[in-house]
Structure 1
Amino acid sequence: MSKTESIAGATLEVLTPQEVKEKFDRNEVVVIDVRTPAEFAFEHIKGAMLFPLSSFDASKLPGQSEKAIVFHCGSGVRSKRVAEACAAAGITQLAHMEGGFGAWKSAGLPYLATDPATGSTVSKP
């Protein structure tokens, strides 16, 4: 079960990678990757959208009337910073993935990666 923390007057839902996958599979959430474009190109969650921390602007996020937004990064540090920026901008429905993409991979969950030998995209694990 997810846990929550309070940040800047908003509630941040902290989801495990398995919780994110289950919600994503049920189309209940949008997953936004805040890593760099290079990190995303090398490996990412299939269907996740890229909105790098370096150019992040909370006012450009889509509305959350249909699906909640879950942020993730490599380890959970950048996604929490993005959530804090969203809270400061008045967005109150926030979630991020605990442990980031590293935890997703450690949990054995599926993702896409670039094969360095061929440059093609392959499914992992």
Structure 2
Amino acid sequence: MKTETIGAAEFQTWTVEDVAAACEKNEIVLIDVRTPQEYMFEHIEGALLLPMPFFNAHKLPGQSDKQIVFHCGSGVRSEKVARAAIEAGIDKIAHMEGGFGAWKQAQKPYIGTNMATGAPARVND
């Protein structure tokens, strides 16, 4: 995990391994900022969908119980959203480096689409 101080805020960049371990322990709220179409085709199990165009940092839940970590396809959108959250006054936020592409490259489990049936299916489980 990398940490950057921005004013009084802490901006964190988590690795896939950091996110996978925290997900396993139910320590974070993982928020996917990709489009609904991207999410429906494949997503990290348990990740919540909040597409970037609809993002409003003032509507995020508090982080007293769980840390918020954003992710997208490559890490670009999630970094933008995390930095916007800091600009809105959130003092600690994180995003996953490399996004869903890095997650898949690390062969972490996710929910994909069975192309034969169109049904959701676990991948790398």
RMSD over aligned Cα atoms:
1.1
Residues in 1 aligned to 2:7 and 2:40: alpha-carbon distance in whole angstroms: 32
Partner of 1:51: 50
Q: Deviations over 1:49-108 (max 9, x none)?
A: 000001100111111110000000000000000011100110011010000000000001
Match of 2:45, SS state, is coil
Per the TM alignment, residue 116 of structure 1 is displaced from its structure 2 partner at its CA by 2.2
Match of 1:86, SS state, is helix
Per the TM alignment, residue 117 of structure 1 is displaced from its structure 2 partner at its CA by 2.0
Per the TM alignment, residue 9 of structure 1 is displaced from its structure 2 partner at its CA by 4.6
What code does the residue aligned with 1:43 have? E
Q: How does 1:1-125 map to 2 (within 5 A)?
A: 2-7=1-6, 9-125=8-124
Residues in 2 aligned to 1:110 and 1:8: alpha-carbon distance in whole angstroms: 36
Give the TM-score normalised by structure 2.
0.95
What code does the residue aligned with 1:21 have? A
Corresponding pairs, count: 124
Residues in 2 aligned to 1:9 and 1:100: alpha-carbon distance in whole angstroms: 26
Residues in 2 aligned to 1:3 and 1:70: alpha-carbon distance in whole angstroms: 13
Q: Which runs of 5+ in 1 are unaligned?
A: none
Residues in 2 aligned to 1:75 and 1:104: alpha-carbon distance in whole angstroms: 10
Give the TM-score normalised by structure 1.
0.95
Q: Which runs of 5+ in 2 are unaligned?
A: none
Residues in 1 aligned to 2:38 and 2:51: alpha-carbon distance in whole angstroms: 10
